[in-house]
């Protein structure tokens, strides 16, 4: 993992570049549009600063430039021409097959659990089943929060979540520094 300072530096460089590309296109932007541009450029800059090494970064970029997205043109402008973009690191095919295998096993397990619960008479809930239910619910919430999380298994979901939190923290630190620097400039 890279140092937080280099991540912040890379994010700031890409974010400013993205904002400059957007600013040059339209001079008169509404507040709503400006807010959207800042958020999208920050997300895309953070994802591209990770160079596609994480699932969440690839999911953010893919979501921003997918067909039918209203912000596709804006995201492509922030990312720059395809020739300037750094190629993302591909996930090994074996890892994808492994994830598919895990999903297949989960589906089979769910269907057998459903059959077992139908056959068994209702009984008092066991503490282990309550814990499994709570953990499952929390995992689903986590999957919905992390970009691309719905396609991850438990271990990779935790790893990606930790990396995503570190990246968001770096993003917040850079934005705070930029805001405090602009206040200092405005005071002088």
pLDDT of residue 143: 92
Sequence spans of domains, the chain: 4-82+129-186
From first to last of its 188 residues, the chain has per-residue pLDDT tens of 567 788 898 888 888 888 887 776 666 778 888 888 888 889 988 998 888 889 999 998 888 888 777 677 777 777 776 645 555 445 444 444 445 555 556 665 665 555 555 555 455 667 788 888 888 899 999 999 999 988 888 889 999 999 999 999 999 999 999 889 988 888 87
Instruction: Give one DSSP letter per residue of the chain, joined into a string.
Output: ---HHHHHHHHHHHHHHHHHHHHHH-SS--HHHHHHHHHHHHHHHHHHHTTT-SHHHHHHHHHHHSTT-TTHHHHHHHH--TTTSPPPPPPPHHHHHHHHHHHHHHHHHHHHHHHHHHHSPP-PPPHHHHHHHHHHHHHHHHHHHSTTGGG--HHHHHHHHHHHHHHHHHHHHHHHHHHHHHHHHHH-
d(CA 168, CA 12): 13
pLDDT of residue 124: 62
pLDDT of residue 162: 93
């Amino acid at each position: 993992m890279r140092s937080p300072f280099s991540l912040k530096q890379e994010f700031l460089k890409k974010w400013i570049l993205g904002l400059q590309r957007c600013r040059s296109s339209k001079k008169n932007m509404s507040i709503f549009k400006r807010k959207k541009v800042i958020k999208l450029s920050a997300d895309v800059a953070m994802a591209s600063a990770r160079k596609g090494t994480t699932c969440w970064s690839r999911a953010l970029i893919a979501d921003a430039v997918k067909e039918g997205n209203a912000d596709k043109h804006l995201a492509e402008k922030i990312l720059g021409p395809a020739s300037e973009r750094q190629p993302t690191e591909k996930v090994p095919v074996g890892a994808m097959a492994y994830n598919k295998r895990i999903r297949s096993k989960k589906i089979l397990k769910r269907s057998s659990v459903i059959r077992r619960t139908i056959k068994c008479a209702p009984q008092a809930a066991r503490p282990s089943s309550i814990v499994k239910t709570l953990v499952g619910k929390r995992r689903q919430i986590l999957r919905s929060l992390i970009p691309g999380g719905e396609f991850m298994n438990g271990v990779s979901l935790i790893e990606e979540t930790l990396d995503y939190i570190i990246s968001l923290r770096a993003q917040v630190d850079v934005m705070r520094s930029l805001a405090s620097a602009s206040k200092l400039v405005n005071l002088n």
